[in-house]
Amino acid sequence: MASASSNALSIPSSSALVDAKAPRQTTASSPPCVSLPKLPPPPVQSQSRGWKTTAYCRKIARNVMAMATGEALATREAPVDLAVAPAELPAFIKTLQETWDKVEDKYAVSTLAVSGLVAVVGSAGLVSAIDRLPLIPGFLEAVGVGYSGYFAYKYLLFKPDRDAMLKKVKETYKEILGIS
């Protein structure tokens, strides 16, 4: 072991030194390069999907170019049909569309809807700010639990009180809808 270390640490003769630099060691004694392991190839499915997406984008680009130059689309390729035939709309959406068509002052209704959305977002911000305060959320939670207990005792515990509450709720519902 001593002979091997003295061999590796020996200084070459002065004739081997050129420009006061040590000679290069041979490749047999130099350590091999460290390299990272190779990554596995990407899945085949994603390659074909990327190819399909690229081909689809090229078709759209060709159609845009054809429309911009005034060239007929039939000479290039058949246009890509982006509009899918809509299925039957749900009854709720049909009713909503009919109701919207009956509205006379759409500007006022739109303004009310936007202001309602702003109010909801602002209220959410206010509740979030209050929730970050140290003692307020616990106090408000205790108030909520207390009021829930009071409501259950006053309106839900006994049968005559439940009937009176249901009657009041139905009357309010009819009043809101305008049913007599």
What pLDDT sits at residue 120?
Answer: 97
Residue 54 tokens read as 């690229």
Between 136-151 and 106-131, two packed helices, what is the crossing angle to 10 degrees? 110
pLDDT in tens, 121-132: 999 999 999 888
The CA distance from 160 to 166, in Å, is 10
Q: How many residues would you count in the chain? A: 180
- Kindly report the pTM of this predicted structure: 0.34
**Structure confidence by residue, pLDDT tens digits, 41-85:** 766 655 555 566 677 777 777 777 677 777 765 444 555 555 554
Distance from chain centroid for Cα 155? 43
Q: Tell me, what's the pLDDT at 25?
A: 55
Q: How many CB atoms lie within 10 A of CB 179?
A: 7
* pLDDT of 115: 97
